[in-house]
Structure 1
Amino acid sequence: MIQWRAPKDDGGTPITNYVVEKKDVKKPWEPWSVVSSSGTVTRAKVSRLEKGREYIVRVRAENKIGIGAPLESPPTIAKHMFNPPGPPGLPECSDITENAVTVSWSLPDYDGGSPISGYVVERREMTGKWIRVNKTPVLDLRYRVSGLFEGNTYEFRVFAENIAGISEPSLTSDPIKATRAITKPGPPGNLKLKDWSKSHADICWTKPTRDGGSPILGYVIEAQKSGTAQWDRINKDLVKMCAYRVPGLIEGLEYRIRIRATNKVGDSEPRELPQTILAKDILVPPEVVVDVSCRDSVTVRAGQIISLITRVKGRPDPEITWTKDARALARDKRTQMNNNYPLCELIINDAVRSDYGKYAVVAKNSSGQAQATILVNVLDTPGACQNIKVAYVTKKSCMVSWENPEDNGGTEITQYIIECRQPSQRGWTVVSNDCTKRLIKAPLTESCEYFFRVSAENKIGTGPPTETKTPVLAVDPIEKPGEPIDFHISEIGKTFCFLKWKKPDYDGGSRNLGYHIEKKPKEADEWERLHKGAIKETYFMADRCIENQIYQFRVQTKNEGGESNWVTTAEVMVKEQLVMPEIKIKLDGTLTVKAGDSIPIEATVTGKPQPDIKWTRDESTEEIKKGPRLQIESGADFSKLLITGARRTDSGKYAVTASNNAGTCSAHAKVIVLDRPGPIRDLKISGITNDRCHLAWEIPEDDGGCDIYNYIIEKCETKREVWSVHSNAVITNKAKVTRLIEGNEYMFRVRAENKMGSGPAVQSEAIVPPAPPTNLKVLDSTKSTVTLGWTKPVSDGGAPIIGYVVEMRAKGSVKKGEDGWKRCNVAAQLITCEFTVTSLDENLVYEFRVSAQNQVGMSVPCNLEGAVIPREILETPEIDLDANLKQGLTVRAGCPIRLCATIRGRPPPKVIWRRMGIDNVVRKGKVDIIDTMTFLVIPNSTRDESGKYCLTLQNPAGEKAVFVNVKVLDTPGPVMNLEATDIKQTSAMLSWSPPENNGGSDVTHYIVEKREIDRKTWATVKAEVALDKIPFKVNNLIPGTEYYFRVTAVNEYGSGVPKVTPTSYLASDPVSTYHVKITSTQTGQPQLIRDHIFFILASSHSHPVKFRIKLKILLLTIITPLEHFALALQAYLLFLECLKVEWEAEPSVFRPLFCGTSFQFGFRRQTLSLLSRLGFKLSFLLKHIVRAGPGDPESSLSYAAMGVGCRGIPMMHWVFFTHCVFVYPLIFNH
């Protein structure tokens, strides 16, 4: 909408119209378009604008004269008259699940002047793009976003929308994770006791199977002492790991342990340790095991770390001590000792050469001690050489000598480096860098001075040098020569000695050397010269000696400068000597030659007299004989074997033996001749199809002395007989041959190849039917089945066996003209060497045979020796009890009892589980039989399930039984024989016997309680009655009050089943006994007839009583000598004549009354109270029916009547009736 005011000047005539025009600013070339050209109203609506474009609007006034000048508006962008709303409030997320969340927000602060028509919700993952969630705008201020992926983290934002458009997005919500609703976690799993002592216990467990949707924050450990119901928390802070050491245990107490898992919702249900923990130390002697990496020795280089690892066991934890060369080690900057049982580690950083030696670890505890040693070698450069000397200096050379370093650096010295320099020079010149001896001849320049230095070198490096302190001048000295070297007697005979020596290292500056030789018998004082002048050689034969005479010899060197000192031998007796032969073969390791080359083996031989030489091969004792290719040459001190044109068969172990009168000596040399490999073995063809087949073979027996590189496979069509190479790069002993032509017949050959060449080829043979199977026998038999077994054929005919055919026939049922054989395995191909023939008749005799089959055809059948009758094989039952049950089974009450065993027998035996006892019956439990296992499971065990259980197997072959002792740890059962005696007005003595079942644990004490007869609650007399306090006296009774008593046994598992006295007891003092005479009022001798009713009347008279009495029980005893006598009591009446009261007692159940039986007669109503000062007469009438039993008519029936139990109410006295027996004769008729 636009509006304007009328022009100030209307041109002298009224305005008739306003012309409104518009134009796009970005399209100046387009003409103005008319919006409105009629009307005199000063406002107009500009329509057909494109949103977002910039327009200019102009208005011109018109009168009847014409159109005036235009009025243009500033450029204006086309948009709604309303603005888009402001962004909604910060979104909040609630009700989060694994795939949905509810997003809510508040109204925008500004609606843009137009009502909000809806909201648009977007989501994104943390690193993703924003995705619109709702297709249509949401009218509500909340929206349920679905389709989330569990575990992903999301953010949300919201846009408000009105007629003007969409607002800016709201602030991004806090990130949320799509997870399930958070609940408490499940209990931890697999709680185990790893270790314990008198003060702590180590437990471990696994994480809960469900965490409730929130990470597990930790675990809470609780403990309960035995005998208490309170659980105490052990850890203040949550335990993060799945293991914990429970501290603070009190020695001797028993504990129960349980744990809970905790997340941010709360604690889980507890998981309790199956067994209780008794706080006590386990004593185990120490045991030290060296780690594999340190077992033989440890070698490190200088500067590296020495790590010695051992595993130490023992209870309590042993004290660990490390020593080096018997000296204890202490911690320092380089030495660390880590004792994390069972791992104990000694770490020495920056190892130095002085750290080498013998290390020992000693583990010691109260049960003993153990020790292990480890050798440590630290490799370093060698030390400095010692005692460097320069001697025998001439104008051209000198001799430099030295001694080995004190420390070789832990490894052998490989060489020495000798250097020299003139005093005017700073640099050193290498004389030799590969000298292996400690003596070297150094070249010099005449008239020059020299310094020398020597360094030792090993595989680690070069050690520090040792220098000469003064220079050496290179001139020829005039000196005496040095002494001869290695002067010795090399051979002794009957009359001679052969002397040898070496030239001296120093000739004194003259090469013109000579030697003087002298000898002296043992008894002589003077030396005798053995030659004239001087001799030039370094050996001399001293003959003309006397046999068995002792001599000494000496030699000296002579030149122009003089004579050296004498070198003398030890005393020696001149006689024939025996020297053990010695042989050394000039060969290191194994001699390897190629086929066609020569095999030279040379040995040095010593011994006196000269030994006989013998060459042998391998383990043979026969001497190798000379031949065209074999030559043997032997001398005084050597022997040589030479084989020309070596062949593969010449490989082996050659031995040379030297023998003389002193003994025998041998030496060996191994020779390997490399040649082409031998032929392959057992070439087989299998897997033949229309265009391919498989070849397989065994490697050659002889590989030519070296590894086989590959195999060469060739093929040939039988029609063409032309061989072509299929492959020359097969590296395994099997191959697949492809691209064969269907219908063609092929031959194959294979040869092995090594670095010496290819061996002979082996050609495949024609495929024929296989040989018959072998060793056919019956493996098993029943009434309707027979199981056969056999072994594979000796030959498969050149192709793999594809199956076997089993046939049978009933003996005697073969029709004429038929062989009667019937195939058994018709359903599928039989590939195993075993088959069960079914549906047999136990009354018939059968014959069986088996044939093998390959791709060509069937083999000759292998017949079973003898006919077979199907019959059941009987096997005696056998029981293999679980190893854990052989020593018995102990469980806690409430835990299941599981007994299992492996059973065998044919036919399958009958399984009977019994609990040995009164009736030998398992009253509670479930018996299962699964395959060859039988189980007895009693879900909730009690003390009554303790005892010996018997598993019995029965079948026609026999019976077998085993026993298992089961102990259920429970509270005790009821005590036995509980009664009260010595009752007085304020006390009573209780006595009882221990419970028959103590619950698997000794009774520790008893709980005694009492209850007044008119009360329901029990009062504790004493909570802990010791075992030695029985009988127990109950005090503080109220006189005249009637009490029940009960006793409960207690063991380490709790209180047992209480036992209540069978009757109540009145707290009163005892009184004297009243005598009652019972007489029979019956006269005559009635006849007893079957089913006849008869009556017996007896009466008694008491003394006068001064107090009220109560009658409770009357006891009658029937005595008869008849063996088969029986009466049935139908009813009885009791008469109290003193009060003229007739009182009918409670009728008795019809039951047989045998001889010698006692009967108690109770009363139907409340106990009768009576008071008689003159005495009373008690009468009773028995009504009997004769029911059974032949007897002797002359025998009599005896009755004994006894009154029991009369109590005085006011005076608290008891009145007892004495026992009186009366005989009433009866005649019994049939």
Structure 2
Amino acid sequence: MPAKPAPIKKSATKKAAKEKEPTPAPVATPTKAPAEVPAEVPAEVPAEVPAEVPVQAPAAEAAASPAEGGVPVADAPVDAAPFAEDASATPASDAPTLATPAAKPPKAPTPPPAVPTSAPQNLTVEDVQETSVTISWLAPKTIGATGLDGYTVETCKDGAKEWVVANEELTVANRYMIRNLTPGDLLNIRVVAVNVGGRSEPVALPQPVPVHEVLDRPRIKLPRFLRTCYTRKVGEQVNIVIPFLGQPKPVVCWTKDGEPLDTNRVSIRTSDRDSILFIRSANREDSGNYVISVKVDSLEDRATIIMQIVERPGPPASVKLVDTWGFNAALEWTPPRDNGNTEITGYIVQKADKKTGDWFTVYDNCHRLSATVSDLIMGNSYSFRVFSQNKVGISEEGTVAKGIATIQKIGIVYKPAQYTEHDFSEAPKFTASLNDRAATVGYTTKLLCAVRGSPTPKIEWLKNQMVIGNDPKFRQISNQGVCALEIRKPCSFDGGVYTCRAKNALGEATVACRLEVKKVIIPEAK
């Protein structure tokens, strides 16, 4: 029979339990430890043995020395077969079973350290009321892998040092209304982003916000004609009136293309109701985007005016005669170098015959950069020119095409008939004679006759066979063969015989009449 394990002594067990009860000591492994483990513990093990005593699976660990708190086990070798029979025969409830050590689980990877986010951005005030202030901001530029839990809004009265949290719970929105404020306070406001890593750097408003009721929000009443591009000609005055509302009196600021206005060129006059922009003489450098800003505390309204100062364009850069065929000529040109600060609306094409030199318009409003001029006269030569046109007007000069279009004669050559020149020389001859006239004293009268002759005869007037000459009382008129003598306010002495005499190299002719000047007799009153 195999040898059974030696019984455990009670005195040694109790002494070891008392000495090692707080911290169980590790069991020493003997050098002669067998591979087999006994399956049962003798019944003589007292109940006072504490449960904290560690029990190891190998038998060698159980055979520790009494000095170290272990249980002494006999050194006799144990056969494997009888030990197995005893283990199968002994029920599990009779003695405690020795536990097998479990394998250690793998260690989890170490998470990265949590880092706070960067500060929120662009903190601004949206609205101010009597007991509330509404603010908004943008998300932080850097959030990190741990994400963002929310934002904390904090306020501090101007002059104080203690910051008070306005929202009891974190807000995830980028907009927050701070309520239940005291009118008249000056509040410093800041926002902090919060995540697992803690609080970020705060972003604060640059100036404290006054809490008060705005009686009238600033608002610009932009006229309808200024909502589109405002166009003026070079040299004209610019006088723009911008009405606005706001209480208390708003602060008005003007800028041009993001820069302050040049006070040497632009005058600004601002009242409680409107602001006037005045330019005495506009030029093209005054074109741009003018922005008016009306501000009451932190509330602001803006309006943009697009001003365009225009003038007439320059002529086309070049005009070229491309081809000539039949009774047609093809032209091409390039846009002008200066469009007058506005778009080109069309071109005017003209032609001129070399014989007369007179210009005639062929196309009044051509939208292309080429044109074909038709219906030219055979045998004539033509020049062409082109004008630019915009909404201000036509260019001062036109560009003349390089080259002349000559329309060749085709078919039978025309030979005009030969005629002898007619001699129109003729002695003077009156075609309408003078008639006797009666005139009234003080009323201007006129004598008329008509004469013909070639060359044109020289006309002379005579009174009672005396040449009148340059007497200022008489006015002599001769036009296209019609001769007239005007007698201004005649008197009774201006009556007599008047003669008209026409002379040229071929002869002389005369015609005469009698003029009687009557005096008006006023009857005497009875």
| TM score, norm. by length of structure 1 | 0.15
More contact order relative to length (CA 8 Å, sep ≥ 6): 2
| TM score, norm. by length of structure 2 | 0.31
Relative to total residues, which structure has the larger helix share, 1 or 2?
Answer: 2
